[in-house]
Structure 1
Amino acid sequence: MSGFHHVELWVTDDETTWAEWSWLLERVGFRLAETWPGGRSWDAGHGYLVLTTSPNLQPVPHDRRRPGMNHLAFQAGSRAHVDAIMAAACAHGWTALYQERYPHAGGPDHYAGWLENSAGFKVEVVAS
């Protein structure tokens, strides 16, 4: 068996963080599995995503342009569902990226939207 078991992202512990991620993860098929002070786990059936804080978190902002994770890509279902997510995202703390090339910023055969949240985390929502 292959694939990811889970991914853990360190985030700041504030209501904006939880609201932004909760909104997006629900739209791409994750369900909230567990909560604890300073963290949440979201299940996708075959793996899970952990958003948590840490006492070891450095007081510098996330920068996807530095070595490390650039973005997470989520399967979002139909093209219409990707369009709906992109249309509603800014009302939920996400900024659309590459709008001038939407929905084919990844190439003519790739239907997806890219978003960035207030902390600088980038995600891609991809049509099946």
Structure 2
Amino acid sequence: MSGRNHDRLAPGLNHLAFHAGAPADVQRLVAAAPAHGWTLLFPDRHPHAGGPESHAAYLTDDQGYEVELVAALP
């Protein structure tokens, strides 16, 4: 059973994560995201919202879907 609206805080699939290249590649995608309807989540913790050892961007659209763009670190 599923609800009529997506709720990223409800049980089930929360987001999809993608390997997005180097940190500079992730930053370019973040810069381009608003033009495609995506908003940066956790901007106060970006790009380390996943922890100090990570470099990622968490983006959401107006329907509440979320993607994580993960940078490859050396």
With the length of structure 1 as denominator, give the TM-score of the two structures. 0.53
CA displacement at 1:67 relative to structure 2: 0.7
1:113 aligns with 2:57: yes
Higher strand share: 1
User: Which structure: larger Rg?
Assistant: 1
In structure 1, the residue matched to 2:11 is 67
CA displacement at 1:119 relative to structure 2: 1.2
CA displacement at 1:80 relative to structure 2: 0.4
CA displacement at 1:70 relative to structure 2: 0.7
Q: Deviations over 1:20-74 (max 9, x none)?
A: xxxxxxxxxxxxxxxxxxxxxxxxxxxxxxxxxxxxx86x211111110111110
Structure 1 residue corresponding to 2:34, chosen from 61, 75, 90: 90
- The number of residue pairs the alignment matches comes to 71
In structure 2, the residue matched to 1:123 is 67
Unpaired segments ≥5 residues, structure 2: none
- Identity across aligned pairs (percent)? 52
Higher helix share: 1
Segments of 4+ in structure 1 off by > 2 A? none
1-side partners of 2:12 and 2:52: how far apart? 27
RCO comparison, higher one (Cα < 8 Å, 6+): 2
In structure 2, the residue matched to 1:80 is 24
